[in-house]
Amino acid sequence: MQEELASALSKKLLEVGIEGKVSNLEPLTGGASKEIWKFEISNAKQSTKMILRRGSGIEGPLAIKTADEARIQKEVIKVGAPVPKILAVSKNEEELGDSYIMHFVEGESIARKILRDKEYKKALPILAYQCGEAIAKIHNVDINNFSFLPKKPAKDQLEDLYSTYQSFEQPSPVFEYAYLWLKEQDFGNFQKSLVHGDFRLGNIIVNADGLQSIIDWELAHIGNPLQDLGWVCGNSWRFGKNDKVVGGFGELEDLLEGYNSVSKLKVNKEMVKCWQVFGTFRWGVICLIQAYAHLNGTINSIEKAAIGRRVSETEIDIVDLLFLGGE
Amino acid sequence: MIFDRPTSSELIKAVMDFLDTKIKDELPPHLAFKLRITNNVLGMVQREIDQGETLQQEVYDAMQNLMHSDELTTKKLSELIKDGKIDLKDEDLKDLLAILSKNKIAVDNPNYSTYKKLIK
């Protein structure tokens, strides 16, 4: 099977003028709905590492098409946001399936390693500022290039999330409270932006110098730019480092300083709070979606079964943010 | 109780120990990752068996104070909130939601950072 994949890869690359032999093909653990393969392509002149990212046929419920991820990466690289360069895109009906090939970026994406290993110790204090800058660059992209992306204003998303939650008929008093609270919030009337939708450790590549690349664009949409800032500040993405508000590694002040240095918006801490609650509620509903994919028999998976019991993590985070002085 | 020892909790503990001592090191990395999840899941079941009743009773007691209803369930509480029957600013409601959340996570994941912070 790997030989077939290698041959399909070299054929596809030849179409875009990259000639060579594919070797060292290895699967990497990707998201739940995507396959990720790392490989090398070598010819007489050089050897280059690349990544194949391929839809597995089981797309996440909020996810965009794999080929559309490639279209986004091609645009945001132009404004200087760090993303891997796209080399080739394959349509669903082609041999490689719904997928694209991009440059391999050296570094680490596994959150716990980035937070724990010595190698990244100097990167962590500057990472929040760098993330702020990068997120602001994404938000500055001209959205006229992204007519293919779904438009998701805050209030619409909130209604969608709430009705998705309701559809599972597993009532949560905390979610009911959060929904009513969120309905009353002012999410800010900002210019519509390209929103990454899942910016956090796990979806960025980091090395000793800090942020190298932003990956995993499957939840991208057009919406309120503050969503990305609130999301990365949710406790769900701090990986146990509760006191580091930004992704378990940084301070909110640094994230906003980086963001405001690039963006026309001047975002302050207070504006992020309701987006933190929003993001936590959103992650809770995504956990429900995953768990019920298992419970309904769509996918039999121990991971998806286990994630059903992570809904309570988002409930206690919401309670902490709303009543107990959590940040 | 008509069932002998090992109790259900002790049986789960035996399975967890077996997976941890005999199986874990035999597995390739991607399966070792799934085994960790499996062990976490068994831990949830074990805690629910051991502490579930007590944790649930604490929540029911807190519900009794606030809900004035014969039906003390999360479903009923959800409806009361949704229908505006309880003021969102009610401190007893906030306390109830706090104890509900804490007691759920105490079974699901007592190592969760927010829980550890809050029980300190």
Per residue in A245-287, pLDDT (tens digit) is: 999 999 999 999 999 999 999 999 999 999 999 999 999 999 9
Q: Alpha-carbon distance A21 to A43, whole Å?
A: 6
Indicate if the pLDDT at residue A51 is higher than 60: yes
Q: Alpha-carbon distance B81 to A126, whole Å?
A: 43
Residue keyed to tokens 């959150």:
A111
Tokens of A194: 């390209």
The last residue of one of the domains, among A45, A76, A103, is: A103
Are residues A79 and A194 part of one domain?
A: no
Asked if residue A31 lies in contact with residue A218, where contact means CB atoms within 8 angstroms, the answer is: yes
Indicate if the pLDDT at residue B116 is higher than 70: yes
Nearest Cα to B79, choosing from A100, A175, A58? A175
Q: CB atoms < 10 A from the CB of B45, how many?
A: 17
Q: What's the mean pLDDT when you consider all of chain A?
A: 94
Domain extents in chain B? 8-119
Q: Alpha-carbon distance A281 to A274, whole Å?
A: 11
Are residues A191 and A52 part of one domain?
A: no
CB contact under 8 A, A319 and B97: yes
Q: Are strands A204-207 and A210-214 parallel, antiparallel or unpaired?
A: antiparallel
Are residues A317 and A188 part of one domain?
A: yes
Are residues A301 and A244 part of one domain?
A: yes
Q: Which residue of B has its CA nearest to A327?
A: B114
Per-residue model confidence (pLDDT) at position A63: 85
Give B56-85 pLDDT, tens digit per residue. Answer: 999 999 999 899 888 999 999 999 999 999
Q: Read off the DSSP letter of residue B53.
A: H
Q: Alpha-carbon distance A302 to A235, whole Å?
A: 23
Per-residue model confidence (pLDDT) at position B28: 87
Nearest to B37 among A29, A302, A315 (CB): A302
The last residue of one of the domains, among A103, A126, A148, is: A103
A240 close contact with B: CB closer than 8 A? yes
Asked if residue A248 lies in contact with residue A237, where contact means CB atoms within 8 angstroms, the answer is: yes
| Residues 6+ positions from A107 with CB-CB distance below 8 Å | A205, A206, A207, A212, A213
Indicate if the pLDDT at residue A1 is higher than 90: no
Overall average pLDDT of the A28-55 stretch = 86
Buried (b) or exposed (e) across A176-195, using 16+ Cβ within 10 A?
bbbbebbeeeebeebebbbb
Are residues A28 and A141 part of one domain?
A: no
Q: CB atoms < 10 A from the CB of A95, how many?
A: 12
Q: What ipTM does the predicted assembly reach?
A: 0.96
Are residues A116 and A99 part of one domain?
A: no
Per-residue model confidence (pLDDT) at position A30: 57
Q: Which residue of B has its CA nearest to A28?
A: B30
Tokens of A116: 């724990």
Give B86-105 pLDDT, tens digit per residue. Answer: 999 999 999 999 999 999 99
CA atoms within 13 A of residue A205's CA, in its CB half-sphere: 15
- Residue A299: give its domain's CATH number: 3.90.1200.10
A-chain residues within 8 Å CB-CB of B93? Answer: 177
Nearest to A312 among B41, B88, B105 (CB): B105
Q: Alpha-carbon distance A319 to B95, whole Å?
A: 9
Q: Which of B40, B113, B120 to mutate to test the interface with A (most CBs of A within 10 A)?
A: B113
Residue A89's domain comprises 2-103
Are residues A281 and A236 part of one domain?
A: yes
Q: Which of B111, B114, B116 to mutate to test the interface with A (most CBs of A within 10 A)?
A: B114
Per-residue model confidence (pLDDT) at position A62: 78
Are residues A282 and A185 part of one domain?
A: yes
Q: What's the mean pLDDT when you consider all of chain B?
A: 95
Q: Read off the DSSP letter of residue A28.
A: E
- Residue A21: give its domain's CATH number: 3.30.200.20
Backbone angles phi, psi at A301, to 5 degrees: -150, 130
Indicate if the pLDDT at residue B12 is higher than 80: yes
Per-residue model confidence (pLDDT) at position B31: 87
Per-residue model confidence (pLDDT) at position A34: 81
Number of structural domains found in chain A: 2
Give A206-260 pLDDT, tens digit per residue. Answer: 999 999 999 999 999 999 999 999 999 999 999 999 999 999 999 999 999 999 9
Strand ranges for chain A from DSSP E = 21-28, 34-42, 47-55, 86-90, 99-103, 151-152, 193-195, 204-207, 210-214, 221-223
